[in-house]
Structure 1
Amino acid sequence: MHEGSKVGDTPATESEGGVGTREPVRRRVVDAAADLLAREGRDAVTTRAVAAAAGVQAPTIYRLFGDKDGLLEAVAEHGYATFLAAKQPLREELDPVADLCAGWDLSVEFGLANPALYVLMYGEPKRGTTSAAFQAGMQILMGRIRRLAAGGWLRVDEKLAAALIHATARGAVLTWLSLPEDERDPALLIAMRESMVAAVTHQQPAVQVAGPAEAARTLRALLPEQTALSGAEQLLLGEWLDRLSSDG
């Protein structure tokens, strides 16, 4: 026994999350939980099983994560970080619609390759969505959507486009996973992707040359048909659009 120690004292060790070791232990516990989830499913992710797999005592999990729900939240955040690492930046060599489809395909492929993790991430409302990785992934998606908008391809507003893209990818994966394996037809995924493209984009860009002046001219031409604005608002918007149009 070291000098000054008392009977019943337990030195702070790596397995107990001592000073300077908290983050490595946290990562080891999350990795162990994610591995159990992938191999044996959600029911296998108990605090006792995770503690044994990570080589820590069960109270360590409660100190690091608060409770089992906190641990599952951390596993979901780990999933978003893993998905983010696989995401590709905007691919300028592809047209905006092809780039959108490539991103959608990548999301679906991740779900099919990591079914239990995907269900944890996307099958429960807002699980892990406050994480930095989730927010970074959303920024990549919004970049794709803004590129569509700038090129005249976007059919709906950007917020609705993001919701539609998420809903179709999530629905495609969760529906696929719910089916018996012998009933899983790849045509389902193709049809879901095409329905997303049809809902979010025009078949042809609304403006042939991307830029504020061209977009303003298109909107100016359609302005008389709109009914959402008052007469005064329509006049003011028309003046602004005329000004923007003249810049090109």
Structure 2
Amino acid sequence: MSEQSQVRDRILAAATELGVGASIRDVCAAAGVTPPTVYHYFGDKNGLLDAVAAAGFERYLAEKRDLAPSSDPVEDLRRGWDGHVEFGLRNPAIYGLMYGGRTKPHPSMAQGQRILQQRMTRIDEAGLLTMPVDDAVQTVHAATVGTTILLIANPTGPGMDRLSERTREAVLSSILVTSKAESDLAAAANHLLVLLARTAEAQLTPGELAILRELLVSLGNSRATG
């Protein structure tokens, strides 16, 4: 490794350890360099923080890629959730730079979401999603990041014990069908029931509506018995 690379890595390590609130002067003192050296490699403080976040995403994505797919895509999603939270708790300062306090997502975040989308697509292909893949991806991403940030900020507070597990299962119950036996027809019937309840004018007589609702309820209940 060249001397220049060593200096750059030392600055990155110091900024990572100190976190987003550190000043350039603090980073320089920790890395044993002068401010012009930081500006030479990173331009300004925002450039330095972006570089720290990028290095964090490299480590995070390497861990994600090491998780080979199993035969159960839902369990793979659980493993992905747990791995994300564990990474944040192991690296709270760098996680804050990756996900917290940014005006726009870091470009590397899209790579992590692509991995999540691949896993969600497998679940969808198994007929186990209650919503479009993109909606499920954003739901899980938002919940995982929010849970991790809360645990970093207050890991021992009231209600924080097993928070990740509880939130994970609540989110999964909202995006997954209740059992593998639930058919597409049953899911569609329940969705149509919701739409009927929200529609003021269904262009059907009361008798027709009653018959339709009875049929839809019967089809929707087939997920519990089919």
Same fold at TM > 0.5: yes
* Partner residue in 2 for 1:191: 166
* Partner residue in 2 for 1:51: 28
Moved more, 118-127 or 163-172: 118-127
* Partner residue in 2 for 1:119: 96
Paired amino acid for 2:9? R
Distance change (3 Å), C-alpha of 1:204 and 1:89 = same
| Superposition deviation, residue 180 in structure 1 | 6.4
| Superposition deviation, residue 178 in structure 1 | 3.2
What CA distance in whole angstroms lies between the structure 2 residues aligned with 1:27 and 1:194? 39
| Superposition deviation, residue 70 in structure 1 | 1.5
The answer to whether the Cα contact below 8 Å between 2:99 and 2:105 also exists between their aligned partners in 1 is: no
* Partner residue in 2 for 1:239: none
2:176 paired with 1:201? yes
Q: TM-score, normalised by structure 2?
A: 0.72
* Partner residue in 2 for 1:235: none
| Superposition deviation, residue 206 in structure 1 | 6.8
| Equivalent residue in structure 2 for 1:91, among 69, 80, 85 | 69
How many aligned positions are there?
Answer: 192
2:136 paired with 1:172? no
| Superposition deviation, residue 168 in structure 1 | 1.0
Paired amino acid for 2:163? L
* Partner residue in 2 for 1:72: 49
Distance change (3 Å), C-alpha of 1:180 and 1:35 = closer
| Equivalent residue in structure 1 for 2:9, among 17, 23, 27 | 27
What CA distance in whole angstroms lies between the structure 2 residues aligned with 1:184 and 1:203? 26
The answer to whether the Cα contact below 8 Å between 2:123 and 2:129 also exists between their aligned partners in 1 is: yes
Paired amino acid for 2:116? L
Q: TM-score, normalised by structure 1?
A: 0.66
The answer to whether the Cα contact below 8 Å between 2:129 and 2:176 also exists between their aligned partners in 1 is: yes
What CA distance in whole angstroms lies between the structure 2 residues aligned with 1:180 and 1:110? 14
Moved more, 72-81 or 113-122: 113-122
What CA distance in whole angstroms lies between the structure 1 residues aligned with 2:74 and 2:128? 8
Percent identity of the aligned residues? 38
| Superposition deviation, residue 173 in structure 1 | 1.6
Q: Which has the larger radius of gyration?
A: 1
| Superposition deviation, residue 101 in structure 1 | 0.6
After superposing on structure 2, the runs of 4+ consecutive aligned residues of structure 1 that deviate more than 6 Å are none
Paired amino acid for 2:17? D
| Superposition deviation, residue 35 in structure 1 | 2.4
